[in-house]
Amino acid sequence: MKRLRAIGDWIAFWDSKHSIYVSARHRDLHYYAVARGIRAHVRYGARVLDYGCGEALHADHLAAWARRLTLCEAAPAVRAELARRFAATNIEVHSPEEIAALPADSFDVVVLHSVAQYLTPQELDALFATFHRLLGRNGLLVLGDIIPPHVSAATDAVALLRFAARHGFFGAAVVGLARTLVSDYWRLRSRLGLTRYSAEAIMLKLAGAGFYTHQASTNIGHNPARMTFLARRY
C-alpha cells in the first residue's frame, strides 16, 4: 500500500500546476530536446508509443516522422489536455490501463523516457513485460534518462545550469533551483527517493525481459550524466 500511495503522489504532482520548469522557455526547450532525441532513434513510418509522455509539447515533431504516434499519460488532467491539443491529428492519447489492453504487435517502437526512476524494480519489470508483448518482432524499446547510482541532485543541477547557459535562461535557472529546494517536488524526491541503475543492472533486467540491449552514445535530453538504452525484442 505504501508504494501504491507513492506512485499516486508522483502522479498527483505531475498533474498539478508544479514549478519543475524554471520558465516557459525551459519547459519548451526541454520538450523539444526530448522529441528531437527520440526521433533520432525512430525509423520513418514506425508505429510509436511514448509511455509516460508528460506534456509532450513537441509531439508533433515526432508524429510527422511516424505512421502513428500514441501518447500514454497517467496524470488525468495532463492526459485530457493532450487529447484536446492533438485532436484530429495522427496522435492518439491513452491511459496506462488502455495501453495494457491493446493487442500484441501494436507498435514498432516504445519509448519510456524519464519514467523508470519513479518506479520500483518490480514495477519496471512489469512494464517491460507489457512492452515486450506490445512490440512486434525485433521492435525497439527506447529507455531514456536512466539515473546511475553515482549521479546526485547536484549533478542534475549542474546539467540544468549548463543547458540554461546555452539557451539564454541562466538567471531563471538559478532562481528556479533555489525555489525547487522548498518545492513539493523536492519534498517528494527526498521522501520517496528515485530508483537508480548501473548500465550493467539495467541491461541485465532487460535481458531477463526478452531484449538484447546496447547503451546509446548520448542520453536523450539535456543531462549527459544520465543514460539511454536501445533494446530490441527477441
Alpha helices in 91-169 (DSSP H): 96-100, 121-134, 153-167
In angstroms, the CA 200 to CA 24 distance is: 37
Is the pLDDT score of 1 beyond 80? no
pLDDT tens, position by position, 107-145: 999 999 999 999 999 999 999 999 999 999 889 999 999
The model carries a pTM of 0.93
pLDDT tens, position by position, 62-95: 999 999 999 999 999 999 999 999 998 899 999 9
Quote the pLDDT of residue 145: 98
CATH of the domain at 68: 3.40.50.150
Q: What is the 3-state secondary structure (H, E, C) of 17-76?
A: CCCCCCCHHHHHHHHHHHHHHHHCCCCCCCEEEEECCCCCCCHHHHHCCCCEEEEECCCH
Q: What is the pLDDT of residues 14-45, one digit of tens each?
A: 888 887 899 999 999 999 999 999 999 999 99
Report the domain count for the chain: 1
Q: β-strand 68-72 against 211-215: which pairing, if any?
A: unpaired
- The domain of 219 spans 2-233
- pLDDT score at 5: 46
**What tens digit of pLDDT does each residue of 159-176 get?**
999 999 999 999 999 998
**What is the reported pLDDT for 6?**
67
